[in-house]
Structure 1
Amino acid sequence: MTPDSRVKVAVALDPPEEGWPSMDLVGHQLRAELTQNDPHRSRFDICWIEPHLKRWISCPFGADSRLGRAAWRADRLWGRHWQAVRLARRILKREAAAGRPLEVLHVADHTYAQVALAADPDMAVVCHLHDLNAFQPLLDPQRDPRPFWYRALVRRIVKGLRRAERVVCISGATRRQAIETGLVSADRLVVAHLGPKPSVVAEPKPALLERVRRDLGMERGGPWLLHVGSNVPRKRLDLVLESLAAARREWPEARLIKVGDRLTPAQMERAGRLGVADAVIQTGALSEERLSAVYRLADLTLLPSDAEGFGLPIVEALAAGCAVVASDLEAIREVGGDQVLRVPPGDADAWRVWTCRALRDERSGNPALGTQREQLRAARRAWAARFGWDQHVAAVTRAWLEALEAARRRSRRR
């Protein structure tokens, strides 16, 4: 295939300032696979659209102040709905003027689906759909009430999403929800599972394991609970703290490693009331190599979310052989299978009980159970191996070609 015959695709990435690890990971892995894999490079000519969120309103305020956080939310809305769309439109026009008209526009984050409105009518559009949380003000306004102007912005996102000829769902659960809610028609939806970060799958060097163990104080004490992710309400960090408090009643030196967003003031206050504030080690974001080590050093990964589109920490923990307790959600059943101990969402009593039971199994000194634990770790790794970025990118590129053909048929009918 000659350079001139390659399909010309624009990929709109997530602004790094958004701080959404799963969205950033999709963009990073798309770029890695598409630029390093020879078959992809010979078939597609990629133009990367990389927006950045600017601090227009929030600049004068402290980032941690209440006013500063509100101003940053305003900056994010401005960046999402105007800056990102203007940037995409400018790049598409620039490429067309240079004699390199782009044929497909791919939006890697559904909360930026309004970027699709910058595409010409004859252009094919593909969009990732990670979950339906952003659409709740329209789908379930009683549970997520928002002012009229906010709902208008969400409608604009929906308009962009429905402009897409193909929508790439990161799980079958997300696809089913999109169909049931009428968000997108079934014939436009495809499924492409995410995969763990390659460096998380790779076994860390012993020296790194020892360094991380020493840095986090894991040489003694324990057991060690782990939560990886944000601090938004649907992640239910209250249940993580309740589980930690229950574990400390049986193991007074139990600790929680919190990777990602730091606990909010309200969450820290709750930790104080439960008497576990000094048992929470907050690492912030970690390098992939150090995260890989933490997964292997932890006794148990917890994911008590009320809603998940995929549950990336589950696949990463399983790839490292770590035991997982997670909410019994459709996406988690799909992603974790029988390798995850599932607990009813929001049931604090069940979370306390099953966290302690899982820790007893992991910490038991019984030799027979030790052999069984090694077998379970091997089974977890084998399960996680079915999720890979090569399959994800292959599904995405198929969606590009299908969308392009659909767009061409639409143009011929006009």
Structure 2
Amino acid sequence: MGRDTLVSTQLEDTPDADPVRPLRVLVTGYRSHPHVGGQGVYIRELTRWLAALGHKVTVASGPPYPELDPGIDLVRLPSLDLFAEDNAFMALRAKHLASWADLSEWLAHNSGAFGELYAFGRRLERYLAGNAGEYDVVHDNQTLSTPFLRIERRLPVITTLHHPIAIDHDYALAASDAWWKALLTRRWYRFVGMQARTARRLQRHLAVSEAARDTHAERYGVAPDRVRVAYNGIDHDVFRPDPSIPRETGLIVTTASADVPIKGLDVLIDALARVAAARPKARLHIVGQLRDGPAKRRLAAHGLSQRVSTSSDLTREEIADLYRRAHIVACPARFEGFGFPAAEAMACGAAVVSSDGGALPEVVGDAGLVSPAGDAEAMAANLARLLDAPAEAAQLGERASARARTEFNWSSHALAASRLYAEALAERGKARAC
């Protein structure tokens, strides 16, 4: 099925797909390339489906810049991109002294903090001041920097909430095994307080799961009644079952974008150690790079290094092929605001074994096996159950594929966003009339 046909079909199948008033939407993200993480994938898909609904869509982004469909304009807001510099301290130039965005980014980076969010907000604020009247609404991808509060005085701001970075901060801090590491962690995550204050004061949010809504309420004090929930979508043209590809007995696939506690790779390795001895075909393939670090040391300690393979820089099609070959796809994260790997694996008809971290139980539903986050013994039991029962794994995969087709569609997400735009503009119009 071609993409144009897919777009048309999903829009026709969207419940309550009432007509949408075309608007001029500015979608914003401080980093937006699909290869830098989920934020880039989100912007690419959101803009594609907003355009399919008839909106005139523009993206304002810092580098690395997004991949966009034809007809979607890109406004480049260059950052100092200090992570790409060999010597970030020497990257300051005289012209940067005239820009508080540039200077604040340089000062933050060279003092161990992450300053791109605030700097991007400043650059966007300046751009909008010079392009007044060009847009009806701003849809931001969880930048949550204080300049957005001033931007909202000019035009409505809708913010997508994935998961509060305060959770990452807590796990990183707990993993710090020296006082100076804890100090550096607190400095790096200093922006979390800014995001919490901004999130509380912005008027409308679009959360990608109930867990994303609830944790922002709990951790940042966001009023739940100001948050609309709409699941992320899946590219069903890529992530789909293929009965011609046989499942490989014993193959467990997982995605690990980083070797950090929140991703739960340590839990999966411990679970594999519990089942591997009695099951010689059990093996793990990690989508991601496995550098020297805790996970590699854990594998060596368990004697599992020869049972593990890795791959990185894969295309979406290559990842989908892995999911179609997998006996099991494991999602062990301690927290996910949504969980793209679980949803995409389900769309490929894979049996999913996941933790109950964050939104994963919402995503998996009754189409997979779920264990408590951080519980290696419980995850091992679920892995063993499906490794020993390929027929049950196949049945779960069929159920998962049907659930993914029903629940995870970008058309529904874009429609929910469009309704938020309309509500925000209507409310602003009433306020002006008064």
- Counterparts of 2:170 and 2:372, CA distance in 1: 26
Shift of 1:395: 0.5
1:7 corresponds to = 23
1:72 and 1:277 map into 2 onto residues whose CA distance is 36
Alpha-carbon contact 1:111-1:134 (below 8 Å) kept: no
Moved more, 23-32 or 148-157: 148-157
Indicate yes or no: 2:124 matched with 1:88: yes
Q: Give the 3 Å change call, closer, same or farther, for CA 293–152 of structure 1 in structure 2.
A: closer
Partner of 1:67: none
Query: 1:128 maps to what in 2?
Result: 160
Deviations 1:291-348 (A, max 9, x none): 1110010111111111121222111111111111111245222211111211122122
1:379 counterpart = 2:407: no
CA distance in 2, matches of 1:355, 1:312: 20
2:58 is aligned, of 47, 72, 76, to 47
Mapped to 1, the partners of 2:165 and 2:29 lie a distance apart of: 19
Structure 1 residues 158-307: aligned runs within 5 Å: 158-181=196-219, 183-203=221-241, 223-231=250-258, 232-307=260-335
The TM-score normalised by the length of structure 2 is 0.75
Structure with the higher helix share, 1 or 2: 1
Structure 2 gap segments, 5+ residues each: 1-20, 64-78, 89-107, 177-181
1:51-91 per-residue CA deviation (whole Å, 9 max, x = no partner) reads: 115443662269xxxxxxxx979798232221x12331233
- Where does the alignment leave 5 or more consecutive residues of structure 1 unmatched? 63-70, 363-368
Q: Which residue of 2 aligns with 1:366?
A: none
Number of equivalences: 372
TM-score (norm 1): 0.79
Deviation at 1:246, TM superposition (A): 2.8
Counterpart of 1:56? 82
CA distance in 2 between partners of 1:54 and 1:175 (Å): 32
Change in 2 beyond 3 A, CA 1:143/1:184: farther
RMSD: 3.4
Contact 2:275 2:384 in 1 (8 A): yes
Q: What one-letter code is carried by the residue in structure 2 that aligns with 1:11?
A: V
DSSP-derived class of the 1:60 partner: coil
Bigger shift: 328-337 or 22-31? 328-337
Equivalent residues in 2 for 1:308-327 (5 A)? 308-327=336-355
Supply the AA of the counterpart residue of 1:153.
F
Segment drifting more, 382-391 vs 5-14: 5-14
**Closer/same/farther in 2, CA of residues 136 and 292 from structure 1, 3 Å limit:** closer
> Could you say what secondary structure the match of 1:251 adopts?
coil
Distance 1:153 1:409, change over 3 A: farther
Contact kept in structure 2, 1:194 and 1:392, CA below 8 Å? yes
1:344 is the counterpart of 2:372: yes
Shift of 1:287: 0.7
Q: Is the 8 A contact 1:199 1:292 kept in 2?
A: no
CA distance in 1, matches of 2:265, 2:46: 31
Task: Give, in whole Å, the separation in 2 of the partners of 1:405 and 1:168.
Answer: 17
